[in-house]
Amino acid sequence: MASTSSAFNLATCARPNILKLIPYRCARDDYKDDGTNILLDANENSFGPSLPLNAEGKLEGFPQEIDLAGLNRYPDPHLIDLKQQLCDLRNPESPFSSPPLTPANLYCGVGSDEAIDMVLRAFCAPGKEKILTCPPTYGMYSVSADVNDLSVVKVPLLLTEDLTFQLDPPAINKTLSENPDIKVAYFTSPGNPTGNLLKTEDIKTILANPDWNGIVVVDEAYVDFSPVGSSLAPLVTEYKNLIVMQTLSKAFGLAGIRFGIAFADAEVATLLNSMKAPYNISSPTVALAGLALGEKGTAVKKENIAKILEQRDRLVKELPTIPGIGRFLGGFHSNYLLVEILNKDGKPDNITAKKVYETLAQNRAVVVRFRGTELNCTGCLRITIGTEKENTELLKRLKVVLEDVRSS
C-alpha cells in the first residue's frame, strides 16, 4: 500500500512552465480513425506509402529487407548510407550554386517534431531567450517553446493581394535586430495551414541580417508537392545560420514510421547529432526509410504525387461550384487547400465554418480541419487532398451539409 506521508506535491515539484503547458492539439483529437471516416484532416498522403507493395498491399521482400532476427541489436546510430540517400534526393534538384550536400549536413530525428525541439535545446537558454514565429503557422513551434520555457515573439505573415501569405522581411529583421534574445526564427514553406511557398529572396534577406546572431529554420514538410527545385536544403552549405527541416510523413506517405530530417551546416549538424539519444531511430524505421528513398520507392512517390496534384486541381475547380464555398486563401503548393466557408449573407464566418466542420464529421463521416481561429483565416477549413473516390464523396457530402447549415 502506498504511503500517504510523502511530501510530494505535483504543483510545486514540476516546472511551472510545464504545469501551464497547453499541449499541441492533433488532428485526431476531435475525430478518431474508426475505419469508416474519410480522413482529410491531417495532411497525410491519402494514396499510401512510397514502398514497393504487391497486389495485396504487402511489402515485397519484407523479411529480407528488414532483418527481424537482428532486432536484439541496437540500430545504426550514424545512418551514413541513409543520409547519403537523402543527399542524392536533394542535390540533383538544386537550382543553387552551393556546394553539394553530404551526410555531414544531416541530423535525423523521430519526426520533424524532435528536430524542432532539438534546435531549441541547442540554441536557447530556458527562461531567458525567445523564438520568432510568423502566424498563421504550425502550432508545434510554440508548444516546444513552452516546454523549453521560452517566450514566443510573433510577426504575422502578410496576406497579399493575390491571397497568398508571405513573410514581412523588414518587420522581421527589425524585430530580430532589436531583440538579440531571439535565437531561433521558424518559417514554414509551404505554409501550414496556408499552403504556399515563401519567397527565397525574403528568406535570404533575413539570413543576411547583419545585427542578429541566430538560426533561421525553414520547415519544408510539404515541399515535394511544390515544383521540383523548391527546396532550400542545398543552401545550408552556403548559409551557416540556416536549418531546413523535412520529413517522410507527407509526400513519402510514411507518417507512421516517424522519421524527420534536418539539413544544416556541418558544424551545426554535428552539434545536433551530439545531443541526440544514442540510438534514436529504430532499425525497422531505417529499413523502411531506405526502401522509400530507393529507386522503387521514389518511383511510387512520384506516381502518388502526380495523383495528388491531379486531385488538387480537381478540387480547386469543383469546390467553388458549391454554394457557400468562398475564396481559396494561401496557395497551391501542398497536399491541402485552405478555403473560406460563407454564411447565408455570403461572408466568411467562423460559426458557419465550425458548424460545417462538425456536421460533416459527425453526420457525414468526412473529417477536415477547422482553421478559422488562425490569424487572417476567418471562416476557413483546411482540406487534405484525398483519393478520387474520397474527393467525390467530399464534394457530394459537403454540398448537402452546406445547404443544411446555411438554411438553418
CATH no. for residue 276? Answer: 3.40.640.10
Cα 120 to Cα 129: distance, rounded to the nearest angstrom: 10
Whether 92 and 163 map to the same domain: the answer is yes
Asked if residue 160 and residue 247 are part of one domain, the reply reads: yes
Q: Which pLDDT does position 64 carry in this prediction?
A: 46
Tens digits of residue pLDDT in 107-154: 999 999 999 998 999 999 899 999 999 999 999 999 999 999 999 999
- Cell numbers placing 112: 520533424
The whole-number average pLDDT for the span 296-307 is 95
Eight-state DSSP code of residue 51:
S
pLDDT for residue 32: 61
Q: What is the dihedral of CA 280, 284, 290, 294, to 10 degrees?
A: -160
pLDDT over 80 (residue 10)? no
Report yes or no on 401 lying in a domain.
yes
Q: What is the mean pLDDT of residues 333-349?
A: 97
pLDDT digits (tens, 9 = 90+) for 33-62: 666 788 888 778 888 888 877 666 666 655
What average pLDDT does the structure give for the chain?
A: 90
Strand, coil or helix: what is 247?
A: strand
Q: Which long-range contacts (CB under 8 A, 24 or more apart) does 395-399 make?
A: 395/315, 395/318, 395/319, 395/322, 397/360, 397/364, 397/365, 397/366, 398/319, 398/322, 398/356, 398/360, 398/364, 398/366, 399/322, 399/323
Partnered with residue 184 across adjacent β-strands are 131, 215
Percent of the chain with pLDDT over 70: 89
Domain boundary, last residue among 246, 278, 297: 297
pLDDT confidence tier of residue 19, bands split at 50, 70 and 90: low
Same domain, 311 and 246: no
The answer on 283 and 163 residing in a single domain is: yes
Q: Is residue 292 part of a domain?
A: yes
Looking at the domain assignment, is residue 67 inside a domain?
Answer: no
The predicted structure's pLDDT at residue 171: 98
Instruction: Identify the residue with better confidence: 44 or 68.
Output: 44
How far is Cα 391 from Cα 406, in angstroms, rounded to an integer? 22
| Dihedral of the alpha carbons of 125, 128, 129, 133, in degrees to the nearest 10 | 120
Asked, for residue 79, whether it belongs to a domain, the answer is yes
In a domain, 63, yes or no: no
The whole-angstrom separation of Cα 262 and Cα 354 is 35
Shared-domain flag, residues 153 and 181: yes
pLDDT tens readout for residues 221-248:
999 999 999 999 999 999 999 999 999 9
Both 40 and 91 in one domain: the answer is no
* The predicted structure's pLDDT at residue 27: 53
Number of structural domains in the chain: 2
- Domain hosting 293: range is 72-297
What gap in Å lies between CA 280 and CA 74, rounded to an integer? 10
Q: Is the pLDDT of residue 368 over 90?
A: yes
Q: Are strands 165-166 and 158-159 parallel, antiparallel or unpaired?
A: antiparallel
Q: CA nearest 219: which of 198, 239, 189? A: 189
Rounded to an integer, what is the distance from CA 207 to the centroid of its chain?
A: 22
Q: What are phi and psi of 370, to 5 degrees?
A: -80, 125
CA distance 261 to 248: 8
Judge whether 119 and 133 are in contact, CB under 8 Å. Answer: no
pLDDT at residue 8 greater than cutoff 90: no
Q: Is the dihedral of CA 157, 25, 269, 215 positive or negative?
A: positive
DSSP three-state, residue 235 = helix
- Say if residue 1's pLDDT is above 80: no
Q: For residues 283 and 341, state if they share a domain.
A: no
d(CA 246, CA 85): 14
Residues 16 and 152 in one domain: no
214 and 360 co-located in one domain: no
CA 388 vs CA 2, 47, 116: distances in Å: 57, 10, 34
Give the end of a domain, one of 297, 313, 332: 297
β-strands 380-384, 106-109 pairing: unpaired
318 is a domain residue: yes
Q: Which of 35-49, 250-264, 354-368 has the lowest mean pLDDT?
A: 35-49
User: Which CATH number fits the domain that encloses residue 362?
Assistant: 3.90.1150.10
Percent of the chain residues past pLDDT 90, beyond the cut: 76
Residue 91 β-bridge partners: none
Kindly state whether residues 286 and 305 are assigned to the same domain: no
- Among 67-76, 206-215, 219-228, 299-308, the range scoring the smallest mean pLDDT is 67-76
Residues 45 and 109 in one domain: no
Is 45 part of any domain? yes
Q: Flag whether 362 is in a domain.
A: yes
Same domain flag for 285 and 392? no
**Residue among 276, 288, 254 at smallest CA distance from 108:** 276
Q: Using 50, 70 and 90 to split pLDDT, how confident is the model at 63?
A: very low
* Residue 193 to residue 238: CA distance in whole angstroms: 29
Identify the CA nearest to 132 among candidates 156, 158, 115. 156
Between residues 194 and 39, the one the model is more confident about = 194
Last residue of a domain, one of 265, 297, 329: 297
pLDDT-derived band at 71 (thresholds 50, 70, 90) equals: confident
Residue 375: predicted pLDDT: 95
C-alpha cell at 217: 529554420
Residue with cell 524505421: 285
Are 149 and 127 within 8 A, CB to CB? yes
Task: Give the pLDDT mean for 269-276.
Answer: 90
